[in-house]
Structure 1
Amino acid sequence: MFSTQIRDVDDFNPRRRRTLWNTPAASMLTTTTTHTIRYPTSRKGHANAHQLSAKFEDLYGFMVEGNVDDVNVLNDVREKIREQGRVWWAVEASKGANWYLQPRISSNGGEGVISVTSLKLSVLTNTITLRRLIRKGVPPVLRPKVWLSVSGAAKKRSTVPETYYDELIRATEGKTTPATLQIDHDLPRTFPCHPWLNSEDGQASLRRVLVGYSFRDSEVGYCQGLNYVAALLLLVMKTEEDAFWMLAVLLENVLVNDCYTDNLSGCHVEQRVFKDLLAKKCPRIAAHLEAMGFDVSLVATEWFLCLFSKTLPSETTLRVWDVLFNEGAKVLFHVALAIFKVCVHS
């Protein structure tokens, strides 16, 4: 289906407090040919079209390659993202710029929760509207601001001095721990086909985020899987500091506790819950896997630790993360169930 290809680029900037790297401005996908085309679906044309292949670079710098069906699907996805963007702009025109930064009822618990006695109709309306829009996808250009707001990362960052991240990075320079050694080992293996993440600047940025968090939370330190999560956060958020705070709120507020500690106790709990959920929601699939002696956790563990970043195309993963940051870890179970259902019916 999809495979990644390395492409040389020259538009990356390693400076931490500015944009880390620039993305195509026009659309989510850019075809390597001169035109985006819709391939024929008639029998004769379909047979010829299946012999063709096309390469695309998505908005986040990953090169994907697929057959005619993949190309047509990606074209449809691109158009739906454009349509959803127009919906967001229309809401901004009616509610005002940055309306989603206003107080609301939190779906994610904790941050921003408003009591029923102080609830205003406008707050309820904004909460319902925002949840509906997020479920349909956040426009890529708005993702950094929306994620920081709905996840609680912006509020978490506001509780510490503005220089917190820079001081943390300076304090960790030159220090060696078991976590830093493992991070250095994993850096070259993190999306090696992505041109910026495979560059010296990209790996240095990713290292600073991961090492910084390993010193912030010594109980977590570093766990394999976080490198992929942090790398994708860097590509979306564009600055190291924003990516760091998104990683912090993800591990400290959004996900199940102890998912990334030494014994992975939280992850083991997730796998038991998912196994029970699969048996309840998809009994035929669960029975078939059990008859084969197949342990679901063999594949699902990576899904939950990497938050699907190694499993799904980047834009699909980020659609999952849109809902994850707004509604919490339950979305991971829904997506995992959906993957099993799709694989069975495909």
Structure 2
Amino acid sequence: MMYGSTHSKIDLAIEYQAQVPALRPSIRARRANITVKFQDLYGFTVEGNVDDVNVLNEVREKVREQGRVWWSLEASKGVNWYLQTQLNSTLKSSLKFSVLVNAITLKRLIRKGIPPSLRPKVWFSLSGAAKKKSTVPESYYNDLTGAVEDKVTPATKQIDQDLPRTFPGHPWLDTPEGHSALRRVLVGYSFRDSDVGYCQGLNYVAALLLLVMKTEEDAFWMLAVLLEDVLVNDCYTYNLSGCHVEQRVFKDLLTKKCPRIAAHLEAMEFDVSLVSTEWFLCLFSKSLPSEVRLPFTLFSYTLNILTPHC
């Protein structure tokens, strides 16, 4: 025999089949090694394999479908129907019921995703930022940023150090124009609330707000409503006491919902706050892809403000 008497045809066939996966990797394995780079909706560079891109395309298609639902409701209920969730108590019961239905529908739609073109208006109005802005003179933001432009404080020094570290490589944020806009928002707020001043992590939050809200002033008021009305008190003050509260709640939640993971981390003597502190201070802005963190992580903090009926 050609292969010698010690190997039967069956043995050779089995040996050959065992080598096939090594000689010819599967289609899935080959696709996993193909790296693709592109810019997402907000200008961030995304890198992943073909399967990652396919998943992202599926997400985008769902967002487009959700957008069609929003525009359909806009056509049937009228312009800005989603802003009419709170009416005074003198309205008729039928109108109150209509408001309740709108509020429930709105909350469900927000959880599924807000179309990017509507996010600035929806976030600004439903978060309470528009109401907060209405309580001060119209020129408040311009007057504030103009008055503190040349002021030097420990907060401004730290802000200047953090500007080039905030999403380096982004086509707008990592430019002189982007740095200037982000600096005005952060410095302005540091003087508005001296108890907070500036805390590292706020630069990432404010940067994402700038990308979504499009204007500095709207980003400033969104930052104000997050820190003053939505997030845990003292989350960004000097001793970070609010952040420590969040860490304790997270640990308790981890023990309750994922006991095996919690037990494993405890056995390893690993302090989960070493990882999760950044999550809470940056509102997950450094931990998730931008097309996930922007529609979800920021506005999810304001969802509970919509209406008591939701």
TM class by smaller structure: 0.7 to 0.9
The offset of 1:68, in angstroms, is: 1.6
Partners of 1:115 and 1:85 in 2: CA distance: 33
The alpha carbon displacement at 1:113 in A equals 9.4
Q: CA–CA distance in 2 between the matches of 1:113 and 1:44?
A: 63
Aligned mate of 2:240, from 255, 264, 270: 264
The 2-side partners of 1:149 and 1:185 are apart by: 33
1:163 is matched with 139
> Is it true that 1:45 corresponds to 2:22 in the alignment?
no
Matches within 5 A, 1:7-156: 44-104=26-86, 120-156=96-132
Per the TM alignment, residue 117 of structure 1 is displaced from its structure 2 partner at its CA by 10
Contact 1:138 1:322 in 2 (8 A): no
Deviation at 1:306, TM superposition (A): 0.2
AA paired with 2:145? I
Q: Which amino acid aligns with 1:128?
A: I
Matched, 1:320 2:297: yes
**Paired residues of 2:85 and 2:100 also in contact (CA < 8 A):** no
CA RMSD of aligned residues (A): 1.8
Q: One-letter code of the match for 1:100?
A: Y
Counterpart residue number, 1:215: 191
One-letter code aligned to 1:58: D
Structure 1 residue 296 and structure 2 residue 278: aligned? Answer: no
Larger gyration radius, structure 1 or structure 2: 2
1:44-66 CA-to-partner distances (Å, cap 9, x unmatched) read 43233222111121111101110
CA contact (8 A) 1:54 1:66 kept: yes
Shift in Å at residue 317 of structure 1?
0.5
Aligned to 2:220: 244
Bigger proportion of residues as helix = 2
* Partner Cα distance (2:276, 2:33) in 1: 33
What is the letter of the counterpart of residue 324 of structure 1? Answer: Y
In 1, Cα distance between the equivalents of 2:254 and 2:89? Answer: 34
2:283 alignment counterpart: 307
SS in 2 for 1:64: strand
Cα distance in 1 for partners of 2:68, 2:132 equals: 31
Instruction: Look up the match of 2:17.
Output: none
What do residues 264-320 of structure 1 show as CA deviations (whole Å, max 9, x unaligned)? 000001101111111111111111110010111111110000000000001110222
SS in 1 for 2:117: helix
CA gap of 1:57–1:194, structure 2 versus 1, over 3 A, is same
Match of 1:229 in 2: 205
One-letter amino acid of the structure 1 residue matched with residue 245 of structure 2: V
Q: 1:60 to 1:115 in 2, by over 3 A?
A: farther
DSSP 3-state at the match of 2:73:
helix
Does 2:173 correspond to 1:191? Answer: no
Q: How far, CA to CA, are the matches of 1:72 and 1:140 in structure 2?
A: 20
Over 3 Å counting, the alpha-carbon distance change for 1:150 and 1:282 in structure 2 is same
Q: Normalising to structure 1: TM-score of the pair?
A: 0.78
What fraction of aligned residue pairs are identical, expressed as a percent? 74
Distance 2:53 2:224 in 1: 36
Q: What is the aligned length?
A: 279
Residues 90 and 121 of structure 1: CA distance in aligned 2, closer, same or farther (over 3 Å): same
Following the alignment from structure 2 to structure 1, what is the Cα–Cα distance between the partners of residues 136 and 113? 31
Distance 2:43 2:216 in 1: 17
State the 4+ residue runs in structure 1 displaced beyond 6 angstroms. 112-119
Q: For 1:173, what is the secondary structure of its paired residue? A: coil
